[in-house]
Amino acid sequence: MPRQIDVDRLFDTTATVFAERGYQAATTLEIAKRSDVNEVTIFRRYGGKAALINAALAHVLSRSPFARLKAGDDVEADLRSVVHAYAETVRQYGGAVLTLLTEVPRHPELTEALSALEPNLSNAADVIAVHQERGRLAQGDPMRMLTALIAPLMVSGLWPRAGIAASADDPEAVVRAFLDGHRAE
């Protein structure tokens, strides 16, 4: 009987290797070794590197904190949840997402993985939309408002990647600043 593989481990390893090496330098051999999976098994199951990366990113992002957000009754608590979920998702998978965004133009075979980002973003935008409907947040495109909420975290996360020492934004301060400009009147 064939040995069962730990798909979670395989997908987490795939996302890590992809983030570390980029598409060209990430190899199925390295992924297989680090996952304790036979490389032939990867090819039998996924057909190749692009399909494996697409499946891995779809899997890990569907389990990320950003994918599990739900609106409650407290707008400030919900926005803090969005900010914390974004920060935790970036901590876990941000390197893979950033790599994906830079690699897709050169490797269109990775476009399928981009679709894994959409549900996460839509989920977070839905939290904002709920509070707009309840009259707690100003009207406007929820996706643009989500971008305004997490943009300070996105930018502060880029500095260290560029080798620039910068302090991380305080999530509480980010939410307060967002509410100062976006609370419904």
- The whole-angstrom separation of Cα 54 and Cα 134 is 37
Q: What percent of the chain has pLDDT over 70?
A: 95
Provide CATH code, domain 7-60.
1.10.10.60
| SS3 category, 183 | strand
Mean of pLDDT over the chain: 91
pLDDT for residue 173:
87
Write out the DSSP string of 73-133.
S-HHHHHHHHHHHHHHHHHHHHHHHHHHHHHTTT-GGGHHHHTTHHHHHHHHHHHHHHHHH
Higher-confidence residue: 172 or 47?
Answer: 47
pLDDT-based confidence at residue 167 (cuts at 50, 70, 90): low
pLDDT for residue 155:
80
What integer is the mean pLDDT of 169-175? 84
pLDDT-based confidence at residue 1 (cuts at 50, 70, 90): very low
10 Å CB burial of residue 33 (0-12, 13-18, 19+) is middle
| 168 DSSP 8-state letter | P
What is the fold of 62-182?
A: Tetracycline Repressor; domain 2 (1.10.357)
pLDDT for residue 2:
55
Please, what is the end-to-end C-alpha distance for the chain in angstroms? Answer: 65
- The whole-angstrom separation of Cα 45 and Cα 56 is 12
Q: b or e along 4-19 (b: 16 or more beta carbons within 10 Å of the residue's beta carbon)?
A: ebeeeebbbbbbbbbb
Higher-confidence residue: 1 or 90?
Answer: 90
The residue extents of the domains of the chain are: 7-60, 62-182
pLDDT at 85 over 50: yes
Asked whether the beta carbons of 166 and 156 are under 8 A apart, the reply is: yes
* Closest C-alpha among 47, 61, 48, 69 to residue 19: 61
* Closest C-alpha among 65, 73, 66 to residue 146: 66
pLDDT-based confidence at residue 168 (cuts at 50, 70, 90): low
- The whole-angstrom separation of Cα 67 and Cα 118 is 10
Write out the DSSP string of 60-71.
HHHTSGGGG---
